[in-house]
A and B are shown apart, each in its own frame.
Chain A
Amino acid sequence: MLTIEQAYWLIALFLAGAAILNLRGRRWSHAAFWGVLAVLIAGGKFVLSQAAAHNPMPAQMAGIGVLALAALSPRMRRGNLSERDSTEREADALRLRHKLFGPALLIPLVTLLVALFGAYIIVDGVRLFDPTRMTLTGLALACVVALVAALWVTRARPLAGLSEGRRLLDTLGWAALLPLTLAALGGVFAATGVGTAVADLVRLLIPVDNALACVVAFGLGMVLFTVIMGNAFAAFPVLMAGIGIPLLIHQHGADPAILGALGMVTGYCGTLFTPMAANFNIVPVALLELPNQNDVIRAQWKTGALLLVVNLILMDLLIFRF
């Protein structure tokens, strides 16, 4: 059976390979960074199962690993890794043409097929795909299929997969790690009561008898908290428990379905404003080699701001009507 755990092992293998290539290139910080990360990803299941069995030791070791990554991050300067000469690439592009799209499109295509039909593929009475996180398992499988196809189409040697992947990985540098680190911070914030403190603070500041004030406080609170946490999913339970349920639903009679849907999408507007949503706003800055960390946010914040206004108006118009 193909499970998400095997995908994690594949990531660890790739990271370890990148670490070895950096080691050979005497880029010590990069080598250490990807090496530590490889161990953390490979050992993830063990850490979690031990923590569940009340053995905090592996989790603490993982915590130390995270500290090491944080210490190494500022040393991950973007080096000039040699890319193939652009005239050679242009010549290949003219020769291979649309064949180049095939493997690239296999990534979405195979992911799609696994997402749609993965549940029905049974080999020897066993399901081929573990139903938990099947789409993500499909994505991992799709990447392997696409790599094989890419090597076949371009007639590159198999190790090119590692060396070219490592080139892109080093281009990303610490930005690759930020989404994970921020998600971990979300976990820490939740466990230390940051959420309830913010909700209490908002309630201290608004006139709770005014329905419109509650709507605006709820909406802007969702945005603010999403900006801080980088994730509307983290903001939702906090603002719902603090303002949504007690004030809007119970006191002012708002419709829960509409409030929930509009509250969440209002939070999504905040995701467009914040560097904390690293996988959406910082990773592409590195991937597209943009000069300024906030370039993607600059391109999208106006859409987010206009949509925020639309959402607040929709909320005020709809939640008390139904």
Chain B
Amino acid sequence: MTTLLHYLPLLGVLVVVAGFALRFNPVPVVVVAGIVSGLAAGKSIGAILALLGTSFVSERALLLFVLTLPAIGVLERAGLREHARNWIASLRSLTLPRLLIAYLGLRQILSMLGLTSVAGQAQTVRPLLAPMAEAAAEKRGVPLSTGERNEVRAFSAATDNIGLFFGEDVFIALGAVLLIQGFYAQHGIELQPLQIALWALPTAIAAFIIHAIRTVLFARRIKNVAAGAAVLPGPVRRRSTTGPRDNLDTDQHG
């Protein structure tokens, strides 16, 4: 019976997994999960509410990124995304893989120096990196389809995440390394931050290599789809169009 009680708070985890699997709105799912595991641990409603409240407000630094929105919004209104796109389109040698890999490397190095808040999804990906990546991808000569555009945006966001995670772990003055050091100190094992940070370096390098290769493959796929579409006019399209359109096709390939 005591063992069962010991495992009962895991019900909260179950609520989260089920809620995400059933695609409910995540915010109520998460709050309900907290209440369920609180009740399962035998806490009173008052104690659960207080726990929820203090846990929530003590993490309010996570909302700081919204302060970037007014400045970014004003610039977007004056065409920031359009200009980022135009500019990248005018740089002939800046291809999609070069752009994304350069960003990945820069993000990793900045994070290694502890400058994690310098870039981010709100600060740099939406206003700058994503439109630039779209423009670089469109250098293939064919506009991106909606699906491809979304893929390019998602890949830009992913690149930011990977650069952040696998750079930050090497930085010695805050974050992961200090957490590890602090945890060991509590358990009677004394380590220097540099000892720990050093061993995160192989993974940081592996992350760069793996994601760079994936970026090249991704860019090649986006490019080849366009090449395929340009070379093969497609029998369906030809049959469904008539007259002038047919002439246009013949002109292109003739």
By the criterion CB–CB under 8 Å, are B72 and A168 in contact?
yes
Contact with A along B13-46 (1 / 0, CB 8 A): 1001100100101111011111001101101001
Q: Is B95 an interface residue (CB 8 A)?
A: no
By the criterion CB–CB under 8 Å, are B25 and A74 in contact?
yes
Interface SS of chain A: helix, strand, loop or mixed? helix
By the criterion CB–CB under 8 Å, are A59 and B49 in contact?
yes
Which residues of the other chain, A, contact B240 by a CB distance below 8 angstroms?
none
In angstroms, Cα B115 to Cα A258, docked, is: 24
Contact with B along A269-296 (1 / 0, CB 8 A): 0011001101111111101101101011
For window 141-196 of B, CB contacts with A under 8 Å fall at 150-151, 153-158, 160-162, 164-166, 169, 176-177, 179-181, 183-184, 187, 189, 191, 195-196
Q: Is A169 an interface residue (CB 8 A)?
A: yes
**Which of A21-29, A117-125, A134-142, A205-213 is near enough to bind chain B?**
A134-142
Residue of A nearest to B170 (CB): A261
Which residues of the other chain, B, contact A139 by a CB distance below 8 angstroms?
64, 67, 117
Contact of A283 among B16, B76, B122, B210 (CB under 8 A): B122
Which residues of the other chain, B, contact A56 by a CB distance below 8 angstroms?
46-47, 50
By the criterion CB–CB under 8 Å, are B69 and A169 in contact?
yes
In angstroms, Cα B84 to Cα A50, docked, is: 48
Q: Is B59 an interface residue (CB 8 A)?
A: yes
By the criterion CB–CB under 8 Å, are B71 and A143 in contact?
yes
Q: Is B10 an interface residue (CB 8 A)?
A: yes
Q: Is B219 an interface residue (CB 8 A)?
A: no
Known: A268-B166, A287-B126. A59 touches B53 (CB 8 A): yes
The smallest C-beta distance from B69 to any residue of chain A, in angstroms, reads 4
Which residues of the other chain, A, contact B202 by a CB distance below 8 angstroms?
314
In angstroms, Cα B203 to Cα A291, docked, is: 32
Which residues of the other chain, B, contact A62 by a CB distance below 8 angstroms?
52-54, 56-57
In angstroms, Cα B120 to Cα A279, docked, is: 10
Contact of B71 among A10, A44, A161, A257 (CB under 8 A): A161
For window 276-322 of A, CB contacts with B under 8 Å fall at 276, 278-285, 287-288, 290-291, 293, 295-296, 298-300, 302-303, 306-307, 310-311, 314, 318
The smallest C-beta distance from B164 to any residue of chain A, in angstroms, reads 8
In angstroms, Cα B67 to Cα A91, docked, is: 27
Q: Is A2 an interface residue (CB 8 A)?
A: no
Q: Is B74 an interface residue (CB 8 A)?
A: yes
Q: Is B51 an interface residue (CB 8 A)?
A: yes
Known: A61-B53, A168-B72, A260-B191. A44 touches B26 (CB 8 A): no
Which residues of the other chain, A, contact B166 by a CB distance below 8 angstroms?
265, 268, 307
Residue of B nearest to A168 (CB): B69
By the criterion CB–CB under 8 Å, are B191 and A66 in contact?
no
Contact of B26 among A83, A154, A192, A275 (CB under 8 A): A275
Contact with A along B205-219 (1 / 0, CB 8 A): 011001100100000
By the criterion CB–CB under 8 Å, are A272 and B165 in contact?
yes
Contact of B56 among A94, A180, A189 (CB under 8 A): A180
Contact of A192 among B32, B41, B198, B199 (CB under 8 A): B41
For window 119-142 of B, CB contacts with A under 8 Å fall at 119, 121-128, 130
B residues touching A (Cβ–Cβ < 8 Å)? Answer: 6-7, 9-10, 12-13, 16-17, 20, 23, 25-28, 30-34, 37-38, 40-41, 43, 46-84, 86-87, 114-119, 121-128, 130, 150-151, 153-158, 160-162, 164-166, 169, 176-177, 179-181, 183-184, 187, 189, 191, 195-200, 202-204, 206-207, 210-211, 214
- A selection of 8 A-B contacts at a CB cut-off of 8 Å is A48-B57, A66-B53, A90-B79, A143-B68, A156-B77, A192-B41, A197-B10, A228-B17
Q: A90-B82, A112-B115, A164-B70 are in contact. List 16 more A-B contacts (CB 8 A).
A: A7-B67, A86-B82, A96-B83, A97-B87, A101-B84, A104-B71, A108-B123, A147-B74, A156-B78, A182-B30, A236-B183, A260-B199, A264-B180, A265-B166, A276-B16, A288-B154
